[in-house]
A and B are shown apart, each in its own frame.
Chain A
Amino acid sequence: MNDEDFKYVERCLTGDVEAFEEIIDKYRKPVFRLAIRMVKDFDDAEDIAQNVFIKVYERLGTFNPKYKFFSWLYRIAVNETINFCRKKNLIENLADNFESSGNNPEEAFSESELSEKIQAALIRIDFSYRLPLVLRHFLSYSYKEISEILEVPEKTVKSRLFTGRQMLKDELIISGVKTND
């Protein structure tokens, strides 16, 4: 376990709230980025991030130092995101909110339109394939780290990642984003 994280946790467990502030400072951006890539909406992503840290704090006493703190924290973040999406019925219906447009591959997009289309394509990918994509490409985690966070074998991570990339490619083509530069 990362020594720094371990020290923060130890300090929190002796009632030192400032140590928890250090944890928030260190992880709030990656947790928020994970959430926003999964749900797209800024306020929803902030709600998820807030709930993640509240749960982390509540459960600090159950953290097992044998494991990596960030894996434990991201597992909570992933579960919180899944629960949030279930509550808002986002897992099944999210794709419906983003209609594909502009099937012409020659269509030129402005930077913000392009970002919108990439994010929409990402959101249309099935949840279980989107998560490894987000963890790998936005948070730069290795296969092994992703397998610890998602609690699945490394082989499964690879397989989902490869399928997720294939899905992303197909979605981008459907959206009319050029992928053959």
Chain B
Amino acid sequence: MIDKQYIELMNKEIDGLLSVPESEELKNYLNQNKEAEKYFAELKVSVELLSRLPDEEPGRNLKQFILNSIDKNKYSFNKPAKIKIFSPFQKFLKPRFTFALAAGILIGIVLYPLLFTVQNNKMKNNLSGTMGVNENITELNNVTFNNSLASCKIILYKTNKEYWFKTNLIVKDNYTLKINFNPLDFVLDNVSASGNGELKINKKENAVTISGEDNSIFRLYFNRINLIPANFRISLIVKGQEQLSRLINIE
């Protein structure tokens, strides 16, 4: 039989909270009670064994999934108001500012042809600069599907950095669209959706599932992690039955 009072002392010892007199008291008790000594040894080893469990790390995409799932504008209405330039000395500054602006425009009109000509002559044989380039958007692949339950068109686009699906779905019943991908190849960046009825979007590391009840249009954006060939699988389930399952390969 082990006294309850000493069980508490044993636990305090495990937590490193025992005072010197308490420690002496426990030591004396354990010396006299073999059952208690065995119990305490087993208890200590059991707790020590917990430290043998390896430290588990969350997946590297967890943060991104969380950020993709929150409404980033939720608190934006609380942003501090911008400081108005004229507020303290408005009456004093405003007429002067208006006058300075008008004068500047006038001077500009007068001087512009002169400066432009001079500059043009100087730079005639010495042109350099940067041109804006429209990012190249390519339609990669498209999947169309029609039957009495669903009409679906999914187009896969790519730019230099991203892939996205534009999906038009006309379904008059409960549906689930699932896109599976390898998280080593792609990271789901964002989903924008609009449609009739409520859409449920469930994002996982390797899949995104969208469920709804009616016509829907949505876009799913993925970032590509590497440039090796990869693929997506698109599945559409309507009324609990798989209507479409297609593997899309990306070189």
Task: From the candidates B14, B45, B50, B67, name the one contacting A181 in the complex (CB within 8 A).
Answer: B45
User: Could you say which residues of chain A place their CB within 8 Å of the CB of B53?
Assistant: 37, 115, 118-119, 122, 138
Over the window 48-78 of chain B, the binary record of Cβ atoms lying under 8 Å from chain A Cβ atoms (1 yes, 0 no) is 0111111111110011011101101111111
List residues of chain A with CB within 8 A of the CB of B204.
43, 47
Q: Identify the 4 closest CB pairs spanning chains A and B, nearest first.
A: A15-B76, A32-B58, A169-B46, A179-B42
In the complex, identify which listed stretch (A16-24, A67-75, A78-86) lies at the interface while the others stay far away: A16-24
Expressed in whole angstroms, the minimum distance between the Cβ of B88 and any Cβ of chain A is: 23
**Are the C-beta atoms of A17 and B72 separated by less than 8 Å?**
yes
**B205 contacts A28, CB within 8 Å?**
no
B contact residues, range: 35 or more
Contact B47 A137 (CB under 8 A): yes
**A149 interface contact, C-beta 8 A:** no
Contact assessment for B74 and A165 in the assembled complex, using a CB-CB cutoff below 8 Å: no
Q: Which residues of A contact B45 (CB under 8 A)?
A: 178-181
State the A residues within 8 Å of B (CB).
Answer: 12-15, 17, 20-21, 24-25, 28-29, 32-33, 36-37, 42-43, 45-47, 49-50, 53-54, 57-58, 60-61, 111, 114-115, 118-119, 122, 133, 136-138, 143, 158, 161-162, 165-166, 168-169, 172-173, 177-181
Q: Are A179 and B205 neighbours in the complex by a CB distance under 8 Å?
A: no
In the complex, which residues of chain A have a beta carbon less than 8 angstroms from the beta carbon of B50? 118, 122, 133, 137-138, 168
Q: Which of B52, B58, B63, B77 contacts A15 (CB 8 A)?
A: B77
A143→B62 CA distance, assembly (Å): 30
> Is B79 part of the contact surface with A, judged by Cβ < 8 Å?
yes
Nearest CB in chain B: distance from A157 CB, A: 11
Asked whether A32 lies within 8 Å of B41 as measured between CB atoms, the reply is no
